[in-house]
């Protein structure tokens, strides 16, 4: 039985240098290979013409460049594009590209399903299946860049921003997410600025502390409530790590960044009758008074199995006005791609019917997490 080939797609520059050194090759081969893979979109060693024929043959024998399988691609009336891709576990995950003038934001998934079961999020209703490998995470960027016609010279940059806001909790797949983000920011790969790569977390405090000194990407916090009682209901991991502990970890990470002008983005999904009153807006302003931040309000996007509703436009404007009057930079996220179920909170994919949860997931969500979340199966046709 032949050993499994090494998938070079997810290896960072340092890891590729080690790979080539172990082959008896010079480390500079890593630079050549990265450009071919990430900037030229090649997945065939034969086309890498600045390497010898013997080296190309050896690479083909020992390694591969394998992105996730594209199951389908959908384009919204507003230009939003969604790819559904199948990963090694057999589950499908979703990647969304949102064009907005010169800005093109790619929303990338980090897990198949999610263990955290936030009550307003479709992904959480699937349960958790598997972590994505670094190759499966960066492979979503690789697929999108190729499909969008981004050129190697960077003059036609389609993807200007990447947000780890797709399916899954990024900080529960720490190492693979960090390696993938390293590739996003590497000038030999995609060269996205650290200010334009954003990791969004629901509140995994140990992961926030691990980020210190490991990365300097932008940070977004899925808060969604101004107090612990309500956040316990909306974001169950809050029962493990309460708001004050969470904000302390956020502050520690932000204080570790050399650029003191950077602020955390607070994500707040507005749900009718739950967290959208002006009184709650005032409580949110009080909660965040010592946290340098900008607040991104997200009107709830409906999905099957949820009874939540989107607030009225008047309610949304009133909530935003309270925050603006309190001095917060507060934006209202446009709903994009809802006609193809690509809007925030709607990502579903298709998770295999498994009950695998490792000890570290159980520790993260605590014994208070729902016993067995509903799984949405075979959504992809």
111 φψ region: left (φ > 0), alpha (ψ -120 to 50), beta (else): beta
How many Cβ atoms from other residues are within 10 Å of residue 327's Cβ?
A: 9
Q: pLDDT band at residue 250, thresholds of 50, 70 and 90?
A: very high
Largest Cα separation within the chain, whole Å, is: 70
Catalytic residue status for 107: no
Mean pLDDT to the nearest integer, 75-99: 93
When the pLDDT of each residue in the chain is averaged and rounded to a whole number, the result is 88
Residue 213, exposed/middle/buried by CB under 10 A (0-12, 13-18, 19+)?
exposed
- The answer to whether the beta carbons of residues 147 and 140 sit under 8 Å apart is no
pLDDT one-digit tens code per residue, 40-54 = 999 999 999 999 999
CA 346 to chain centroid, in Å, comes to 14
Interval 23-40 mean pLDDT: 97
SS3 string of the chain? CCCCCEEHHHCCHHHHHHHHHHCCCCCCHHHHHHHHHHHCCCCCHHHCCCCCHHHHHHHHHHEECCCCEEEEEEECCCCCEEEEEECCCCCEEEEEEEEECCEEEEECCCEEECCCCCCCCCHHHHCEEEECCHHHHHHHHHHHHHHCCCCCCCCCCCCCEEEECCCCCHHHCHHHHHHHHHHHHCCCCCCCCHHHEEEEECCCHHHHHHHCCCCCCEEEEECCCCCHHHHHHHCHHHHCCCHHHHHHHHHHHHHHCCCCCCCEEEEEEECCCCCCCHHHHHHHHHHCCCCCEEEEEEECCCCCCCCCCCCCHHHHHHHHHHHHHCCCEEEECCCCCHHHCCCCCCCCCECCCCCCCCHHHHHHHCCCCCCCCCCCCCCCC
CB 226 within 8 A of CB 280: yes
pLDDT at 152: 63
Active site residue 169: no
Q: In Å, how far from its chain's centre is CA 140?
A: 11
Residue 67 CA: distances (Å) to CA of 58, 73, 132? 20, 15, 12
As a whole number of angstroms, the distance between CA 64 and CA 134 comes to 14
pLDDT at 339: 56
> pLDDT tens, 311-338?
999 999 999 999 999 999 999 987 655 5
Q: List the catalytic residue out of 118, 245, 344, 372.
A: 344
pLDDT grade for 341, boundaries at 50, 70 and 90: low
Structure tokens at 255: 């204080």
Could you tell me the two tokens for 59? Answer: 């690479």
Give φ, ψ of 206 to 5 degrees: -60, -35
pLDDT at site 369: 34
Q: Is the pLDDT of residue 379 over 60?
A: no
Does the structure show a pLDDT above 60 at 2?
yes
CA angle 98-128-86, nearest 5°? 55
> Quick check: 230 pLDDT over 90?
yes
Active-site annotation holder among 94, 136, 169, 267: 94
pLDDT band at 76 (very low <50, low <70, confident <90, very high): confident
pLDDT tens track for 6-21: 999 999 999 999 999 9
Query: Of 85-89, 184-188, 306-310, 354-358, where does mean pLDDT reach its minimum?
Result: 354-358
User: C-alpha dihedral over 199, 251, 264, 138, to 10 degrees?
Assistant: -10
Cβ atoms 158, 149 nearer than 8 A: yes
Q: What is the per-residue pLDDT across 176-198, written as a single tens digit (0 to 9) for each?
A: 999 999 999 999 999 999 999 99
If you average pLDDT over residues 238-264, what whole number do you get?
A: 97
Distances (CA, A) of 216 to 131, 199, 211: 22, 10, 8
């Amino acid at each position: 039985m032949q050993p499994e080939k090494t998938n070079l797609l997810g290896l960072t520059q340092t890891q590729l240098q080690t790979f080539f050194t172990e082959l008896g090759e010079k480390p500079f081969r890593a630079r050549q290979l990265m450009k071919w893979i990430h900037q030229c979109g090649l997945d065939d060693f034969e086309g890498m013409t600045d390497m010898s024929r013997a080296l190309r043959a050896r690479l083909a024998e020992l390694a591969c460049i394998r992105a996730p399988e594209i199951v389908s691609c959908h384009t919204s009336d507003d230009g939003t594009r969604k790819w559904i891709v199948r990963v090694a576990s057999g589950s499908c995950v979703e990647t969304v590209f949102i064009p907005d003038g010169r800005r093109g934001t790619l929303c990338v998934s980090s897990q198949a399903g999610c263990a955290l079961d936030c009550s307003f999020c479709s992904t959480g209703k699937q349960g958790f299946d598997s972590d994505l490998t670094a190759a499966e995470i960066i492979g979503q960027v690789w697929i999108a860049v190729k499909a969008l016609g981004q050129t190697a010279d960077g003059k036609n940059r389609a993807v200007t921003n990447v947000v780890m806001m797709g399916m899954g909790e990024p900080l529960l797949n720490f190492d693979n997410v960090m390696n993938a983000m390293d590739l996003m920011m590497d000038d030999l790969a995609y060269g996205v600025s650290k200010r334009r790569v954003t990791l969004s977390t629901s509140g995994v405090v140990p992961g926030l502390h691990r980020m210190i000194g490991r990365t300097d990407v932008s940070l977004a916090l899925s808060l969604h409530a101004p107090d612990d009682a309500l956040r316990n209901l909306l974001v169950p991991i809050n029962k493990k790590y309460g708001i004050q502990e969470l904000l302390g970890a956020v502050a520690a990470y932000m204080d570790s960044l050399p650029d003191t002008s950077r602020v955390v983005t607070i994500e707040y999904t507005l749900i009718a009758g739950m967290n959208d009153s002006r009184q709650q807006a005032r409580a949110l302003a009080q909660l965040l008074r010592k946290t340098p931040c900008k607040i991104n309000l997200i009107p709830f996007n409906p999905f099957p199995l949820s009874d939540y509703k989107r607030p009225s436009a008047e309610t949304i404007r009133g909530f935003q006005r309270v925050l603006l009057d309190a001095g917060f930079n507060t934006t209202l996220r446009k709903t994009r791609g809802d006609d193809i179920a690509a809007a925030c909170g709607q990502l579903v994919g298709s998770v295999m019917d498994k009950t695998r949860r490792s000890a570290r997931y159980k520790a993260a969500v605590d014994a208070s997490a729902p016993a067995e979340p509903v799984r949405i199966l075979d959504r992809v046709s």
